[in-house]
């Protein structure tokens, strides 16, 4: 209704002003709710406001943007409504902006039809510059296929390929399996012979062709009735026969074991066939062959003559498989150029180099894209022998140059960016470092083994640190490293380097030496030292003193595994580090093995707890140094059990006090601290974690410190004439004597075969036989002897302290800790006789009965999180038969879920990740519809992903397949794309990101987000502190298998943060949910090979979908309903 009168106009203006003020207040209120993490409250506030003002375009647009930020599917509709309202009020630019958002969201959701309609509306509002690209024409897609007999799932089972693998990935996956698992050295000669795996694949294919024949031209296996010739024919091929005549008693039983095995192992529906025969019903089974795309054409690989028997030729030729595998990693443009330039036979000769290092080859417009760009082009040309301008020729020469050394350098340098890449690709550096790594004799090259052997070079180039002046950071300075190489312990390093070391002039010389050692197939000790010490320096305000570095390198062999401790608390002083080393060396001098292992265990247990409390912020950074110094001080002079007990007791008190838990029973204080902090707010998550801790503590039959201390105090008083508290002693004895040693019930053969540590056995036996009454009687009235008795409590206190570490890192399920009551007590700090494991990384000892003696960990506590996860991984139950679970990937995933805690995560930090994910999606959609936006986004994609995948993503964007493009990117890549691009003004999410940046700068800084949503990288970064390094996912590497790949996989935490944001999960709930979600992810992985991280991504998304479904998406129609 229009108001025409002045009075009314005044009223109207006042009303508008008032409405405007109301609206502003509403929006402010909503923003505050959202900032505080109350997205549901913000949504409800919008809904209430829209009930009052349903036509308010500003509110509608704001509501749409809110829904978009939380991935609510109703956002599109709200944008459309807002656009209509803006247009109705004559503000067409705003209408265009809203309609444009709707188009982007349509494409993100893969709804091309809706996008077309919204585009029409957008144009109707006067919008320009947006076009929805035409979908990929059929001709652009690979047309040639090869046929595999029978259904894909059967072949996949036999060939160990995920049955839901994309058809285009089947042949590369098969090729990889043939290369890595298909052949072995013959026992009789130098020839390769087929493994059982490949023999079975061959036999299966042969049986499948027979069934294909039976299936006839319709490709359906049909058995019309039990008594039919088809029945006999089919059963003969399957290797079964009928027992009993046709009818309800018929049973299928094996007659030809070899055929029957293939039948059942390939998943032929035998039970269904049997059921059909029993009921005399027809049986039919679709046996159409499976068409899988082949790169280029079958003839390219096997020649025109053999192209009809491609599969047989493929399976029978590992070199061909490797060639196929290598070519499948190239992006189409690069592959096309190389194929055209280099004959297939020649490429095939260098298939191993192509396979390992070709993935980063990139030809654009005929030129090679090279690390270092223009500045390094001439040097690349000199090293390769061909200018990068001649792309295909350049890469051909790179392949054949030197057994793969230069290609491996190219690969390593392609994976990094920024100042380190600049430094390493300076022409002079590049030449020096290449010559160092190549050496004089190039054979064997880094592509020779089944796994890449240039792991150390990749670590060096990835983790090298530069000083602000662009020079490499050399921990402790040049002289320390000269000494390291000159000293050359046991001649483990290169003699030539030792001779050259005295003449070194600067850091470049050290880096050159490290490159030179990267070519050695042996343990690269100096590189590991260099990386570990660089990592310690990385977060310190003041780098380590040369003397400290010298000491740390001199005792590297013994104590290096412990250095992560100093990395997790960068405030530790040089003095304290040296004091720690002094204490450790003092313990090593203890002759009594029992006392020594208890003392080492207790000190490691205490410092392990200190490390945990520092990492989670319970011990403030400012107190960390003092706390550690005080903790280790008693161990520097420790000589007796009594002193050990006192050190343990004072240590626990010190830790609790330093971490802000000054009062209450020690057991409660420690359980709280281990769960995440002294003063956690009561919550279901907190209760759940503490209950789990208590359950494990009980299962391990550990003694609470309070009980131990009470008894110790009582013993102290006994020395002054008081009586022993018999009840207390009996309580303790009852707990300890209940523990059964594993040997008790075993047969003689088992006892002889088992490998339970001798000193572990002694440790437990000593605990069991303590009899305080007898000891007090024996001590008579000698007060010193009476005081010494409390030292006998030291082994139990050690177990409790070590047990607290186990509790903190307990993996989801914790089956071993719940089932094996000796797991904590059985921790072997000494190891096998003759090999001192006390300070080495934690190892899982053996596997299988009786060699593992029921499972135990050996070594120090340094690698406890990984070892516990490793021990637990076989208790996970894959949801699909034959699913591959990585031996090295799963433990890292589990520890990533358990070591970081989320108690201090702010809602802003959760939403920050969610917004960046939405922003990343939006940027990609923009790049798809707006050519002007493309170049920057494409460059960001190229930085984040390998050329092959970047090219696939870009290709999808060019055809408007935004959803498909997004599916190919990992969460960490999407996040990194969003972070790397400056926000655009017209994007509401970018504006919101900006608002958060201003409202909570300290919470959403790169450093804070890295700490909050990063992953622990004990191998790659020598630290358990979570960190985001924005790395490209590594391949499997010789010496590390998938462990580094798993550490470089940074997507899980970011994905969980995004999911929590979307589903309204509170940060503290993540402490319980992330381990549960991760367990499910692992159980659902169905990978085809060790580098199949897309299978991991698929599993991650599948769990995310379940969480979304069970959470129930907030429904935007709530408002629409209320309107109606």
Which residue ranges make up the site for another protein (CB under 8 A)? 157, 239, 251-254, 257, 260-261, 264-265, 267, 269-272, 274-275, 694-695, 698-699, 734, 738, 740, 742, 745-747, 749-750, 753, 815-816, 819-821, 844, 847-850, 852-855, 871-872, 874-878, 881-882, 885
Task: Pick the closer one to another protein by CB: 35 or 818.
Answer: 818
Report the interhelical angle of 318-328 vs 298-306 (nearest 10°). 150
Q: Specify the residue for token string 């705003």.
A: 94
In whole angstroms, the minimum distance from the beta carbon of 183 to another protein comes to: 18
In whole angstroms, the minimum distance from the beta carbon of 761 to another protein comes to: 14
Whether the CB-CB separation of 736 and 704 falls below 8 Å is answered with no
In whole angstroms, give the CA distance from residue 113 to residue 126: 20
Task: Pick the closer one to another protein by CB: 323 or 845.
Answer: 845
In whole angstroms, the minimum distance from the beta carbon of 160 to another protein comes to: 9
Q: Are strands 240-243 and 251-254 parallel, antiparallel or unpaired?
A: antiparallel
In whole angstroms, give the CA distance from residue 126 to residue 1041: 57
Q: Provide the 3-class DSSP secondary structure of residue 404.
A: coil
DSSP state, residue 619:
S
In whole angstroms, give the CA distance from residue 943 to residue 938: 9
Helices (H), 329-386: 332-341, 344-349, 351-357, 374-384
**Cβ within 8 Å of residue 961, ≥6 positions away:** 110, 135, 136
In whole angstroms, give the CA distance from residue 572 to residue 926: 48
Task: Pick the closer one to another protein by CB: 269 or 332.
Answer: 269
Q: Specify the residue for token string 């498909």.
A: 964
Closest CA to 247 of 284, 281, 223: 281
Task: Pick the closer one to another protein by CB: 136 or 270.
Answer: 270
Task: Pick the closer one to another protein by CB: 953 or 1082.
Answer: 1082
Task: Pick the closer one to another protein by CB: 557 or 880.
Answer: 880
Q: Provide the 3-class DSSP secondary structure of residue 607.
A: helix
Task: Pick the closer one to another protein by CB: 120 or 726.
Answer: 726
DSSP state, residue 452:
B
In whole angstroms, give the CA distance from residue 936 to residue 876: 43
In whole angstroms, the minimum distance from the beta carbon of 545 to another protein comes to: 43
In whole angstroms, the minimum distance from the beta carbon of 242 to another protein comes to: 12
In whole angstroms, the minimum distance from the beta carbon of 270 to another protein comes to: 5
In whole angstroms, the minimum distance from the beta carbon of 853 to another protein comes to: 7
Closest CA to 173 of 292, 268, 289: 292
In whole angstroms, the minimum distance from the beta carbon of 714 to another protein comes to: 23
In whole angstroms, give the CA distance from residue 778 to residue 322: 75
The distance in angstroms from the start CA to the end CA of the chain is 21
In whole angstroms, the minimum distance from the beta carbon of 847 to another protein comes to: 5
Task: Pick the closer one to another protein by CB: 260 or 474.
Answer: 260
Task: Pick the closer one to another protein by CB: 241 or 473.
Answer: 241
CA distances for 441 relative to 34, 398, 403, 411, 519, angstroms = 63, 17, 10, 21, 11
In whole angstroms, give the CA distance from residue 737 to residue 756: 19
In whole angstroms, the minimum distance from the beta carbon of 245 to another protein comes to: 16
CA distances for 1109 relative to 25, 1056, 1103, 1105, 1106, angstroms = 34, 15, 10, 6, 5
In whole angstroms, the minimum distance from the beta carbon of 707 to another protein comes to: 15
In whole angstroms, the minimum distance from the beta carbon of 852 to another protein comes to: 7
Task: Pick the closer one to another protein by CB: 188 or 749.
Answer: 749
Helices and strands counted in the chain (H then E): 59, 14
In whole angstroms, the minimum distance from the beta carbon of 816 to another protein comes to: 6
In whole angstroms, the minimum distance from the beta carbon of 243 to another protein comes to: 9
Task: Pick the closer one to another protein by CB: 69 or 1089.
Answer: 1089
In whole angstroms, the minimum distance from the beta carbon of 286 to another protein comes to: 17
Backbone angles phi, psi at 858, to 5 degrees: -120, 145
Task: Pick the closer one to another protein by CB: 663 or 744.
Answer: 744
Task: Pick the closer one to another protein by CB: 229 or 749.
Answer: 749
Task: Pick the closer one to another protein by CB: 252 or 424.
Answer: 252
- Written in H, E and C, the secondary structure of 721-754 is CCCCCHHHHHHHHHHHHCCCCCCCCCCHHHHHHC
Name the maximum alpha-carbon separation found in the chain.
110
Q: Provide the 3-class DSSP secondary structure of residue 451.
A: coil
DSSP state, residue 196:
H
Q: Which is it for the CA torsion 895, 899, 900, 903, positive or negative?
A: positive
In whole angstroms, the minimum distance from the beta carbon of 1079 to another protein comes to: 13
Whether the CB-CB separation of 136 and 959 falls below 8 Å is answered with yes
In whole angstroms, the minimum distance from the beta carbon of 692 to another protein comes to: 11
Per the document, the length of the chain is: 1124
- Written in H, E and C, the secondary structure of 92-145 is HHHHHHHHHHHHHHHHHCCCHHHHHHHHHHHHHCCCCCCCCCCCCCHHHCCCCE
In whole angstroms, the minimum distance from the beta carbon of 665 to another protein comes to: 18
Q: Return the number of other C-beta atoms located less than 10 Å from residue 459's C-beta.
A: 23
In whole angstroms, give the CA distance from residue 175 to residue 322: 6
Q: Find the helix or strand (DSSP H, E) in which 368 lies.
A: strand 367-368
Task: Pick the closer one to another protein by CB: 476 or 865.
Answer: 865
In whole angstroms, give the CA distance from residue 934 to residue 1114: 33
Task: Pick the closer one to another protein by CB: 253 or 994.
Answer: 253
Task: Pick the closer one to another protein by CB: 694 or 1117.
Answer: 694
Task: Pick the closer one to another protein by CB: 210 or 716.
Answer: 210
Q: Provide the 3-class DSSP secondary structure of residue 950.
A: helix
């Amino acid at each position: 209704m229009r108001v025409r009168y002045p009075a009314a106009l005044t009223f109207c203006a006042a009303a508008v002003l008032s409405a405007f003020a109301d609206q502003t207040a509403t929006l402010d209120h909503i923003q505050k709710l959202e900032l505080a993490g109350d997205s549901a409250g913000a949504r409800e506030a919008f809904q209430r406001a829209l009930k009052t003002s349903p036509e308010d375009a500003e509110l509608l647009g704001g509501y749409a943007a809110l829904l978009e930020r939380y991935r609510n599917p109703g956002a599109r509709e709200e944008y459309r409504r807002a656009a209509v309202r803006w247009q109705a009020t004559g503000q067409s630019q705003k209408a265009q902006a809203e309609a444009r958002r709707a188009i982007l969201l349509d494409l993100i959701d893969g709804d091309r039809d809706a996008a077309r309609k919204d585009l029409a509306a957008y144009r109707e509002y006067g919008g320009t510059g947006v076009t929805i690209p035409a979908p990929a024409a059929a001709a652009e897609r690979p047309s040639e296929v090869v046929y595999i007999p029978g259904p894909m799932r059967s072949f996949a089972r036999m060939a160990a390929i995920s049955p839901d693998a994309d058809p285009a990935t089947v042949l590369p996956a098969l090729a990889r399996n043939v290369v890595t698992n298909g052949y072995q050295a013959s026992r009789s000669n130098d020839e390769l012979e087929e493994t059982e795996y490949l023999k079975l694949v061959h036999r299966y294919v042969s049986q499948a062709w027979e069934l294909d024949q039976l299936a006839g031209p319709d490709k359906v296996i049909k058995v019309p009735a039990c008594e039919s010739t088809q029945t006999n024919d089919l059963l003969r091929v399957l290797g079964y026969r009928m027992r009993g005549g046709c009818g309800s008693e018929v049973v299928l039983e094996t007659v030809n074991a070899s055929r029957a095995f293939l039948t059942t192992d390939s998943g032929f529906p035998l039970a269904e066939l049997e059921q059909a025969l029993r009921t005399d019903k027809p049986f039919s089974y679709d046996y159409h062959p499976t068409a899988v795309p082949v790169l280029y054409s079958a003839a390219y690989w096997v020649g025109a003559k053999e192209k009809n028997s491609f599969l047989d030729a493929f399976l029978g030729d590992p070199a061909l498989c490797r060639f196929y595998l290598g070519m499948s990693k190239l992006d189409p443009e690069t592959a096309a150029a190389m194929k055209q330039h280099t004959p297939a036979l020649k490429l095939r000769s260098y298939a191993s180099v192509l396979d390992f290092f070709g993935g980063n080859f990139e030809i654009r417009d005929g030129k090679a894209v090279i690390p270092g760009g223009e500045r390094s082009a001439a040097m690349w040309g000199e090293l390769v022998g061909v200018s990068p301008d001649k792309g295909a020729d350049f890469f051909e020469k790179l392949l054949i140059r030197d057994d793969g050394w230069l290609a491996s350098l190219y690969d390593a340098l392609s994976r990094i960016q920024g100042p380190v890449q600049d430094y390493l690709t300076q022409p002079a550096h590049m030449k020096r470092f290449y010559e160092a790594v190549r050496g004089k004799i190039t054979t064997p090259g880094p592509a020779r083994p089944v796994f890449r052997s240039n792991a150390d070079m990749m670590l060096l180039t990835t983790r090298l640190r530069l000083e602000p002046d662009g020079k490499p950071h050399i921990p402790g300075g040049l002289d320390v490293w000269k000494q390291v190489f000159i000293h050359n312990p046991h001649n483990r390093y290169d003699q030539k380097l030792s001779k050259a070391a005295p003449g070194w002039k600067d850091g470049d010389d050290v880096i050159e030496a490290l490159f030179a050692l990267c070519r050695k197939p042996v343990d690269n000790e100096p590189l590991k030292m260099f990386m570990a010490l660089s990592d310690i320096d990385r977060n310190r305000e003041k780098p380590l003193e040369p003397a400290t570095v010298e000491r740390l390198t001199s005792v590297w062999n013994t104590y290096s595994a412990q250095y992560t401790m100093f990395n997790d608390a960068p405030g530790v002083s040089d003095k304290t580090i040296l004091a720690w080393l002094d204490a450790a060396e003092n313990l090593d001098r203890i002759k009594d093995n029992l006392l020594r292992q208890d003392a080492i265990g207790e000190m490691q247990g205490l410092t392990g707890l200190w490390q945990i409390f520092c990492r989670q912020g319970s011990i403030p950074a400012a107190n960390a140094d003092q706390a550690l110094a005080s903790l280790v001080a008693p161990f520097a002079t420790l000589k007796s059990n009594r002193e050990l007990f006192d050190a343990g007791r004072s240590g626990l008190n010190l830790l609790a006090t330093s971490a802000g838990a000054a009062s209450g029973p020690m057991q409660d204080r420690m359980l709280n601290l281990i769960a995440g902090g002294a003063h956690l707010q009561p919550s279901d998550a907190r209760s759940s974690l503490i209950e789990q801790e208590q359950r494990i503590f009980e299962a391990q039959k550990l003694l609470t410190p309070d009980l131990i201390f009470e008894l110790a105090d009582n013993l102290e008083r006994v020395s002054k004439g008081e009586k022993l508290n018999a009840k207390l002693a009996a309580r303790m004895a009852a707990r300890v004597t209940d523990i059964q040693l594993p040997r008790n019930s075993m047969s003689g053969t088992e006892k002889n075969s088992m490998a339970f540590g001798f000193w572990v056995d002694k440790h437990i036996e000593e605990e069991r036989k303590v009899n305080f009454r007898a000891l007090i009687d024996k001590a008579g009235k000698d007060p010193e002897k009476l005081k010494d008795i409390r030292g006998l409590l030291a082994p139990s206190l050690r177990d409790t302290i070590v047990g607290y570490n186990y509790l903190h890192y307990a993996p989801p399920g914790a089956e071993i800790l719940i089932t094996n009551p000796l797991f904590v007590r059985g921790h072997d700090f000494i190891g096998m006789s003759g090999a001192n494991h006390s300070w080495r990384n934690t190892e899982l000892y053996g596997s299988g009965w009786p060699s593992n003696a029921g499972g135990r960990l050996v070594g120090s506590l340094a690698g406890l999180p990984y070892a516990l996860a490793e021990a637990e991984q076989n208790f996970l139950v894959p949801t699909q038969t034959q699913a591959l679970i990585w031996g090295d990937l799963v433990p890292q995933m589990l520890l990533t879920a358990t070591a970081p805690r989320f108690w201090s995560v702010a809602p802003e930090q959760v939403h920050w990740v969610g917004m960046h994910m939405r922003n990343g999606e939006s940027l990609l959609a923009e790049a798809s519809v707006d050519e002007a936006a493309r170049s920057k986004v494409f460059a960001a994609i190229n930085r984040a992903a390998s050329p092959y995948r970047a090219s696939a993503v870009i290709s999808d964007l060019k055809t408007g397949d935004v959803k498909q493009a997004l599916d190919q990117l990992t969460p960490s890549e999407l996040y990194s794309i969003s972070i790397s691009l400056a926000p655009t003004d017209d994007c509401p999410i970018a504006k919101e990101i900006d608002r958060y940046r201003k409202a909570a700068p300290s919470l959403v800084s790169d450093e804070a987000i890295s700490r909050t949503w990063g992953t622990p990288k004990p191998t790659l970064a020598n630290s358990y502190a979570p960190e985001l390094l924005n790395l490209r996912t590594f391949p499997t590497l010789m010496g590390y298998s998938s462990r580094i790949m798993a550490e470089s996989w940074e997507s899980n935490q970011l994905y969980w943060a995004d999911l929590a944001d979307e589903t309204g999960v509170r940060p503290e709930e993540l402490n319980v949910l992330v381990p549960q979600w991760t367990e499910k992810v692992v159980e659902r992985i169905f990978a085809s090979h060790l580098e199949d991280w897309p299978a991991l991504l698929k599993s991650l998304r599948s769990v995310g979908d379940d969480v979304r479904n069970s959470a129930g998406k907030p429904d935007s129609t709530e408002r629409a309903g209320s309107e109606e």
